Homo-oligomer: A and B are copies of this chain.
Amino acid sequence: MSTHPIVRYTSPASWALVEDKFSPFAKETLAKLITFLEDEVEPATKLAHLQLPTDETQRWKTVLPVLAELKEKAKKLGLWNLFLSKQHYPEYGVPLSNLEYAVMAELLGYSSHIASESVNCSAPDTGNMEVLARYGSPEQQQKWLKPLLNGEIRSAFAMTEKNVASSDATNIRTSIRREGNEIVINGHKWWISGAGDPRCKIHLVMGKSDPENKDKHQQQSVVLVPTDAPGVRIVRPMKVFGYDDAPEGHCEVIYDNVRVPLGNLVLGWGRGFEIIQGRLGPGRIHHCMRSIGHASRALDLLLQRVTDPSRKTFGKYLYEHGTVVADIAKSRAEIESARLLVLSAALQIDKVKAKGALKEIGIAKFVVPSMALTVIDRAIQSFGAEGVSQDTELAARWAGLRTLRIADGPDAVHIQQVGQRELKRVPQLVERTREIKKKEQAILEKAGYKL
């Protein structure tokens, strides 16, 4: 049996399925990541909490010193930009497949809320770097991609709009129009993750440049808007349940007659839809794997809680009461099956690109966050009032995950799409049934049965 340290975090059974698909480099990187998370990131998490001011204004102006240190360490260790697959991004990427990174992403989710950023693998920068690496001009890459890859700045992706049913991208109202050598942007966005961060220097803004185009998918463009451009106004942070998620936040942002040079257009006029399509596949898998990490962490916390001698009630350990053991078993089963689903989707992406793995990605997208919410909720329940409070990480993890059932398309959209894809199998099934019926007839006739 494998002695790789990953088996302390993932079941031997799921590791056995994928181990022979890991390169030596990936195995080594994985081991280094585990050590880094255990020795550096997790022990530093409380300090990161303490370094964030509670004052409502100050908390949005802070760069956590401990996080900056962690990033330097990670960079030196080569634990950096692990999400960016060399296979898809030869110039900037690291030699890791989606499958290989997926296992690491689970660890990042398991470990701590600062883990992803400490290895420069946190959304929305990840998706933005993918966009810039794939579609950015050399100038755009020089100016924005490089510092993002170096972890010097942060970025936002401005798509969701207030009072707009934005799960249908064709509803977008933000206007992007050319005026001479400039592009003028007017729009009202919200839930712009990362826009609150003092290091956030660039917004990728999606809007309509050609709202009358008959092809609904060619009406949109994406433009790079520096945060300090006149007219960019951060209105307020949106809260998730009661959390503001400072300093990154999810902000309401108004673009009021913002002007940027023509060169800030990404890829070309009318290609905004194409850009967001390309942005969605692997990122969803990363989210899913991190979610599994959250669930796994919650189960580990629950296990420690229900065996804590100081929590005994009526003379028994918590795990000896009611349905706790059954809840543990179900949680384990749910985590294992969810992980396998996502790993199989990641492998599909490696084999046939995201476009060939849409059913698998869709399944992961609607199964995993709900699963993780359920497992965390069980853990919360085991912790009693402490579980809903600031004294464990459970409630905050839960709230963060709750948004995943909404972001990147609500559950219902993915469920419908997976269902529709299944329906496409029908003609093949009907043909199969017909063939077998024909043979059945022949057999029955031969056996003397009148039909």
Contacts and interface: CB of A to CB of B under 8 A. Distances in A.
A13 B348 contact: yes
A405 to B, nearest CB: 7
B307 A426 contact: yes
Given A46-B444, A360-B13, A240 B332 contact: no
A194 interface: no
Nearest to A383: B406
A17 B344 contact: yes
Interface string A107-145: 000000000000000000000000000000000000000
A449 B436 CA distance: 51
A341 B348 contact: no
Interface in A85-112: none
A14 interface: yes
Interface in A262-293: none
A418 B329 contact: yes
Interface in A209-229: none
Interface stretch (A23-31, A36-44, A177-185): A36-44
A423 B328 contact: yes
Contact of A47 (B16, B340, B449): B449
A433 B8 contact: no
Q: How large is the interface on A (under 10, 10 to 19, 20 to 34, 35 or more residues)?
A: 35 or more
A191 B20 CA distance: 44
A190 B386 CA distance: 10
A123 to B, nearest CB: 15
A303 B422 CA distance: 8
12 contacts: A13-B344, A16-B348, A165-B310, A165-B318, A171-B313, A240-B242, A242-B390, A325-B419, A329-B419, A337-B338, A381-B412, A384-B410
A406 B422 contact: no
A307 B389 CA distance: 36
Q: Which of A21, A313, A337 has the most CB atoms of chain B within a 10 A radius of its CB?
A: A337
Number of copies: 4
A148 to B, nearest CB: 25
A384 B167 contact: yes
B47 A444 contact: yes
Interface of A: 1, 8, 11-14, 16-18, 20-21, 38-39, 42-47, 50, 54-56, 66, 160, 163, 165-168, 171, 190-191, 238-244, 250, 299-300, 303-304, 307, 310-314, 318-319, 321-330, 332-333, 336-338, 340-341, 343-345, 347-348, 351-352, 356-357, 359-360, 362-363, 366-367, 380-381, 384-385, 387-391, 395-396, 398-399, 402-403, 405-407, 410-412, 414-420, 422-423, 425-426, 428-430, 432-433, 435-436, 439-440, 442-444, 447, 449
Per CB-CB distance, the 6 closest pairs between chain A and chain B, nearest first, are A242-B242, A43-B439, A325-B419, A340-B340, A168-B313, A242-B243
Which of A50, A168, A417, A449 lies at the interface centre, i.e. has the most chain B CB atoms within 10 A of its CB? A168
Query: DSSP majority for the A interface?
Result: helix
Given A240-B388, A388-B406, A351 B39 contact: no
Given A20-B21, A241-B396, 20 more contacts: A13-B348, A14-B344, A16-B344, A17-B17, A38-B432, A43-B439, A50-B447, A191-B385, A239-B242, A239-B395, A241-B399, A300-B429, A321-B412, A326-B416, A328-B423, A329-B417, A336-B344, A381-B411, A381-B412, A385-B403
Contacts of A410: 381, 384
A71 to B, nearest CB: 16
A326 B329 contact: no
A17 B347 contact: yes
